């Protein structure tokens, strides 16, 4: 069975995702936007046969099996529920929703409708991440005691930009922080404690944030992210007998190495690919759809909900509030 994809949204991430996945052979049959003109322009750019001038028309398209939600964070839950209610399988751009409560509503709705739903945390599906999980599980670096990861970008400072608008779920954490947070949880599990500190903009969104996560057994993660400066964007998984170092940009297909406890390189790996790598998560999601196994794998819905709860707590400590917090 070939899974036929529809796309909700025509912004920057939709362009990157569809362009990369089309080159990898993923089939897109329809796109939906808030205007017909925008949908038609996007469809023409990527060779998509049908363009819909509303999200409702997109999810009503009988030729669409699965929907990729690529709207701003503030719309993720609403648009995912729209697609689920239409009987579509749904891949939701990360961060999955604004709050853990929203995430739970989406996951519960998917279970009732017997459709697959997954957060598009594409990094987890890269071959290099599978190899790192295997090295850790085999004990190649001993017991993991520390995960370190950063994600900084110098992004638009215009107050009207979605990244700076609380009404659209702006701020560093939902856009950038999700990468190191999800990585830490992937390696060490859901934390038992969260300590957060950050800097807020005049608009009230987080421009920088640092997290210390404590995991079961006392292991920790030290994470930092921000949208107003650049950094090397590297990551390390540090164990009692060695460590794994991922080069910039660590959450994309990149080079990385396994070191012993003295820092000597034991093995080197080159995970670079010609394409960005979004197709790996799409193929995994398609396997869930065709097999009827709608949960599990590298990005299980329950873990997504736990990560959203972690981010809710970090925002509470720093003082970032969204309209969804009151719902």
145 CA to centre of own chain: 24
Give every strand in the sheet of 117-120, ordered side by side: 50-52, 28-32, 5-8, 66-69, 89-93, 117-120
- Residue 160 CB burial class (10 angstroms; 0-12, 13-18, ≥19): exposed
* DSSP summary character for residue 154: B
Angle at 212 between CA 122 and CA 313, to 5 degrees: 75
Please state, in angstroms and rounded to a whole number, the distance separating the CA atoms of residues 52 and 41.
11
Which is catalytic among the residues 94, 104, 151, 259?
94
Whether 94 sits among the annotated catalytic residues: the reply is yes
Angle at 325 between CA 90 and CA 95, to 5 degrees: 35
Tally of CB atoms within 10 A around 44: 10
Please state, in angstroms and rounded to a whole number, the distance separating the CA atoms of residues 254 and 126.
10
What stretches of 205-320 show up as alpha helix (H) in DSSP? 279-291, 301-318
Give yes or no for a contact between 76 and 11, defined as CB atoms under 8 angstroms apart. Answer: no
Please state, in angstroms and rounded to a whole number, the distance separating the CA atoms of residues 90 and 106.
10
Name the residue among 35, 92, 26 with its Cα closest to residue 58: 35
* Beta strand segments in the chain, E: 5-8, 28-32, 50-52, 66-69, 89-93, 117-120, 144-152, 193-200, 206-214, 220-226, 235-239, 242-246, 255-260, 265-270
Residues serving a catalytic function are: 94
């Amino acid at each position: 069975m070939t899974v036929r994809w529809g796309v909700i949204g025509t912004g920057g991430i939709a362009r990157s995702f569809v362009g990369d996945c089309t080159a990898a052979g993923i089939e897109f049959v329809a796109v939906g936007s808030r205007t017909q003109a925008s949908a038609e322009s996007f469809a023409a750019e990527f060779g998509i046969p049908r363009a819909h001038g509303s999200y409702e028309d997109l999810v009503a398209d009988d030729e669409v099996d699965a929907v990729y939600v690529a709207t701003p964070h503030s719309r993720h839950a609403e648009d995912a529920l729209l697609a689920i209610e239409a009987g579509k399988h749904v891949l939701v751009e990360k961060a999955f929703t604004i709050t853990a409560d929203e995430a739970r509503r989406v996951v519960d709705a998917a279970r009732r409708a017997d459709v697959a739903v997954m957060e598009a945390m594409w990094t987890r599906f890269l071959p290099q991440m599978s190899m790192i999980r295997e090295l850790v599980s085999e004990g190649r670096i001993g017991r993991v005691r520390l995960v370190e990861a950063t994600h900084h970008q110098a992004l638009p400072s215009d107050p009207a930009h979605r990244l700076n608008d609380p009404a659209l779920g702006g701020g560093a954490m939902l856009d950038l922080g999700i990468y190191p947070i999800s990585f830490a949880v992937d390696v060490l599990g859901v934390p038992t404690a969260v300590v957060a500190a950050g800097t807020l903009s005049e608009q009230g969104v987080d421009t920088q944030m640092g997290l210390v996560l404590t995991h079961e057994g006392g292991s920790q993660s030290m994470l930092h992210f921000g949208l107003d400066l650049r950094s090397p964007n590297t990551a390390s998984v540090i164990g009692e007998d060695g460590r794994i170092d991922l080069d910039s940009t660590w959450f994309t297909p990149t080079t990385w190495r396994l070191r012993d406890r003295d820092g000597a390189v034991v093995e080197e790996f080159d995970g670079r690919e010609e394409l960005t790598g979004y197709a790996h998560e799409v193929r995994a999601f398609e396997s869930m759809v065709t097999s009827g196994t709608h949960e599990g794998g590298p990005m299980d819905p329950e873990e997504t909900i736990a990560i959203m709860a972690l981010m809710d707590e970090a925002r509470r400590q720093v003082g970032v509030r969204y309209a969804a917090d009151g719902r």
